[in-house]
Structure 1
């Protein structure tokens, strides 16, 4: 059986689309369609159900993918090992929210630069857009709080992020901690909100988890970067919900104050996502392992 046909088949099986697989393989969509039809004729069985939006594998297709994919990945791993042995430089393309990439991911990967890696980043806050870019081959690795589904992606839990309700000391002095614990958001009435989006994603999650309520006021300041939110809070613009890793230094310095320490703080899980099979690439596997190791300490 032709390995090129099997490689195309596995790409389609993982991508769920002839068009998406073609982009990943660097082929035209008609060429991918032709190769799949050739393989189906050789096997005498259909491998995919054609749908209005992409394809789904038949039982025969799933069986073939289960048998063939590990061997194709192993061949790719051998090829990559030989390439590394002759000093081939590789570029790692990363994508994710600017704050997490800047403060967590890039510092963890910085030592790889001394091992011949080059890094390129795409700063994206929209999880769906980031995952679509990964699927299309624009990125090699993404970090996101949206766990993807489907055979195309391999997602590993990276770390849990604790959220903290913070304000500058001026505002904190106006809030009765006991009233906040007993009466919830009533104790925060009149204090401006600072957020990353008009929909108040962080505040709404915190309110629902800790206070069993929804925010009833609009944000006074909206800025799409959490680092800018922290600076606004530090300067006295109002209160905000921020990841602890981002604001811990400001808390330690007394520049902002944690208004509440709930017994069970709100958490958000970060996922490290690659395309299925791509960890056969040595430079990507190295970065993936390094981030998982770093994430265990975050």
Structure 2
């Protein structure tokens, strides 16, 4: 069986589309279609069901992908190793949420640099983009706030992130915890909101979990980076919901105050994800192990 056909097949399987696979492979879409048809004729079985938007693998297609993908990834690793500089430098392509990746993941991987690791990072805010890029082969390892489905990606829980409702002292003094406990979210309706997106992802999750309702207000300040949200809230712009690791120092300094201390705080789980079959490869295995070890202290 032609390895080039298998490589094209695995790329289509991961991308979910002949068109996206063609871009990844640097081929034309008709060339990709032709190669898949050739492979299907050789096997005597259909590998994909054509849909209006993309393709869906058949049972045979899924089985072939699970068997072939790890070996193709291993061959790619060998080829890449042959291109590395003297001294054994290996490159890890990493993806994850900007703030968490910058403040926790990258520092945890720093010790591996002395052991020949080179890192290329992609900051992606949406979990869907993180997992899609990993599946398509753009990244070797990813941190995601969503657990992937299916067998093409292998994931393990990395850590839980506690979310805290905070505001600067000028707002916190107007809304006490006692008032919040008695009136609930209604007591916060006049307080401006600082968020990362118009959909209020952090505030909505907190409101649903703690107050069992949806927020009534819209955001006064939108900043697509939690560090900017933190600093804006600390300056007095309004309330925000932040990961505790991100605002812990400002809480200790008194620049931010926790408006509420619920008995069960909202949590978000981070998952460490790799393509199935690649965890036996360097540098992915070393980075994976380093992050799991570091996460025990997070």
Instruction: Check conservation: 2:70, 2:276, Cα contact below 8 A.
Output: no
1:246 Cα deviation (Å)?
Answer: 0.4
2:267 is aligned to 267
Structure 2 unaligned spans of 5+: none
1:244 Cα deviation (Å)?
Answer: 0.5
1:122 is aligned to 122
Instruction: Check conservation: 1:80, 1:281, Cα contact below 8 A.
Output: no
- 1:63-212 residue pairs with structure 2 within 5 A? 63-73=63-73, 87-150=87-150, 152-212=152-212
1:56 Cα deviation (Å)?
Answer: 2.5
- 99-108 vs 73-82, greater mean Cα deviation: 73-82
CA distance in 1, matches of 2:122, 2:77: 26
1:161 Cα deviation (Å)?
Answer: 1.0
Query: Alpha-carbon deviations, 1:148-206, whole Å to 9, x = none?
Result: 44555444332211100112233222323222112212333432222222222211211
TM-score normalised by length of structure 2: 0.84
Distance 1:71 1:236, change over 3 A: closer
1:12 Cα deviation (Å)?
Answer: 3.1
- 1:217-236 residue pairs with structure 2 within 5 A? 217-236=217-236
- 240-249 vs 288-297, greater mean Cα deviation: 288-297
- 1:278-289 residue pairs with structure 2 within 5 A? 278-289=278-289
TM-score normalised by length of structure 1: 0.84
1:81 Cα deviation (Å)?
Answer: 7.1
Instruction: Find the residue that maps to 2:227 and give its secondary structure.
Output: helix
CA distance in 2, matches of 1:192, 1:111: 42
1:280 Cα deviation (Å)?
Answer: 4.9
Size of the alignment, in residue pairs?
298
Instruction: Find the residue that maps to 1:251 and give its secondary structure.
Output: helix
Query: Alpha-carbon deviations, 1:26-66, whole Å to 9, x = none?
Result: 54444433333333222233232233322223333334344
Distance 1:200 1:52, change over 3 A: closer
Distance 1:84 1:286, change over 3 A: farther
Instruction: Check conservation: 1:168, 1:256, Cα contact below 8 A.
Output: yes
Instruction: Check conservation: 1:81, 1:282, Cα contact below 8 A.
Output: no
RMSD: 3.0
1:19 is aligned to 19
